[in-house]
Amino acid sequence: MSVIDDILAEKDFEKIRKETETNYKEYLNPFALRMFKNAGLDVIEGRREGACVWDISGEKYIDCVTGAGIFNAGRHNREITDALKKALDVYDMGGWISIIRERGLLAKKLAEITPGNLKYSLFCCGGGEAVEVAIKLARGHTRKKEIICMENGYHGVTGFSLPATGREVYKKPFAPLTPGYIHVPFNNLDAVKSAITKDTAAVLLEPVQGEGGIRPAGDSYLAGLRQLCTENEILLIFDEVQTGFGRTGKMFCAEHSGVTPDIMVLAKSMSGGIYPISCAVFTEEISDFLYANPFIIINSFGGTSLACLTALAAIEYIEKNDLPARAEKMGKRFMGGLLKLKNKFPELVVDVRGKGLMLGIEFPEDSIGPRMACLLKKNGVISIYTFNNPKIIRIMPSLVISEEEVDFVIDAFDKSLKEIRIQEAGHK
């Protein structure tokens, strides 16, 4: 028996729970463990399938977190895992200092499916790294420095991406950060106009703010940004790390408004949650910078043979099953149910909003988000509040979710809101 056989053969879930909690406390991060428990996220993931995840004890939940959009094609998607298994039979990751056929094939596919004239791809592993590539490209191409970003935006926590994230709590302990990032209110074109200087390189935003509380950018705002950027020779960067690959009801969220950015950042569901990969896709016009600087991203593990083949299989799955259309259909069903809950619990539900299966439900105060997540778990649903805004619970299930599962989640919200109403009455 190998170490992996031993690990997978263990069936005593009390033993597994104890061992895992001890390892978190002793060797990983006891404070993260405490936070998971307080937020109703203390499920130790065992089986994963479709829209569901099972705790190691066998308790089944509908996963409305999906790692903030990693599992659009469903948990542990068999077609995508089989693709990786086949790839592993033939290849290792591939050397980064060599020419990789699979990388070219994936870049070509991305050029075909991304909107407008987005064409070239540079690959890395995580979303934050891909944001860094986008910022390097913008500064390199324009030879200007300033990046206008959005208050409450989230772009990761790595070197060039952390300063773009629009919440002080993530940044303060690590100052000084890379300078040149200016934050303005989201969905406010005048604020961007006022922030532009002769040194502005790019405007960076999420077309739907995820961690900022599921806030969609308005179509006319995006059109205004496009015009402003073009007139001032500034690049427009869309971070589609959460919104990409069908989540909002289109393959990419940019398609709703018809506005094409100069650079699009992709990660999370790009390879179905089976193997890490991310990228920045950009237009030919800005590729000139690569002529003198072909290695602006040197990344041993970015865009490996295995990652690219897995991503090609994930994209094939999303297209074959028309997951964007499914996200739109199930999103409408969700929205109908959530609006009924807003009418039923007007003192507790301030707003419901979102696009496709990227939905948020807003409560009147911060403490209700974490309490709701704990109650939802009791009622069979895994959920989490948005990081920059705990008043809002996100609903981001796999796009393969069925009608019955959508109704189950709505029912779980109904039951949980009833309990919150009782708790609130008790406090008065």
Ligand X SMILES: Cc1ncc(COP(=O)(O)O)c(C=O)c1O
Binding site for ligand X (CB under 6 A): 68, 126-128, 131, 154-156, 206, 210-211, 239, 241-242, 267
Q: For Cα atoms 234, 236, 241, give the angle at the middle one, nearest 5 degrees.
A: 150
Q: How far is the CB of 214 from ligand X (least distance, A)?
A: 11
Shortest reach from residue 288's CB to ligand X, in Å: 26
Q: At its nearest, how many Å lie between ligand X and the CB of residue 208?
A: 9
Closest by alpha carbon to 409, among 335, 328, 329, 326?
335
Q: What distance in Å separates the CA atoms of residue 50 and residue 62, rounded to the nearest whole number?
A: 9
Identify each DSSP E strand in 288-401 by its residue range.
351-355, 358-362, 381-382, 384-386, 389-395
CB of 158 to ligand X, least distance (A): 6
Q: 152-174 in b/e burial notation, b at 16+ Cβ within 10 A?
A: bbbbbebebbbbbbbbeebbeee
Q: What is the DSSP letter of 286?
A: G
Indicate the residue among 126 and 213 with the shorter CB distance to ligand X: 126
Q: How far is the CB of 259 from ligand X (least distance, A)?
A: 17
Residue 172 DSSP label:
G
Number of residues that this document lists for the chain: 428
Minimum separation from the CB atom of position 131 to ligand X (A): 6
If the CB atoms of residues 54 and 282 are measured against ligand X, the closer one turns out to be 282
Of 135 and 318, nearer to ligand X (C-beta) is 135
Q: Which amino acid is at 389?
A: N
Please report how close the Cβ of residue 59 comes to ligand X at its closest, in angstroms. 26
Question: Which segments of 204-322 does DSSP mark as H helices, in order?
Answer: 219-231, 254-257, 288-292, 305-320
Amino acid residing at 59: E
Spell 17-29 as b/e; 16+ CB within 10 A means b.
eeeebeebeeeee
CB nearer ligand X, residue 127 or residue 273: 127
Q: Which is nearer to ligand X, 250 or 371 (CB)?
A: 250
CB 229 to ligand X: min, Å: 19
Closer to ligand X by Cβ: residue 177 or 420: 177
For residues 84 and 204, which CB has a smaller minimum distance to ligand X in the complex? 204
Nearer to ligand X, 211 or 328 (CB): 211
Closest contact distance (angstroms) between CB of 157 and ligand X is: 7
How crowded is the C-beta side of 144, counted as CA atoms within 13 Å?
A: 18
Distance, in Å, from the CA atom of 398 to the CA atom of 52, rounded to the nearest integer, reads 8
Task: Kindly tell me which of 67 and 336 has the beta carbon lying closer to ligand X.
Answer: 67
Q: How far is the CB of 241 from ligand X (least distance, A)?
A: 4
SS3 42: coil
The answer to whether the CB of 235 falls within 8 A of the CB of 202 is yes
Three-state secondary structure call for residue 408: helix
Task: Indicate the residue whose CB is closest to ligand X.
Answer: 127
Query: How far apart (Å, rounded) are the C-alpha atoms in residues 13 and 56?
Result: 6
Rounded to a whole number of angstroms, the minimum distance from the CB of residue 387 to ligand X is 8
DSSP3 helix / strand / coil % (the chain, rounded to 5): 45, 20, 35
Whether a cis peptide bond, with omega within 30° of 0, leads into 163 is no
Name the residue nearer to ligand X (CB basis): 210 or 356.
Answer: 210
Between CA 400 and CA 106 the distance in angstroms is 23
Q: Based on CB atoms, which residue is closest to ligand X, 50 or 207?
A: 207
Phi, psi of 42 (to 5 degrees): -90, 40
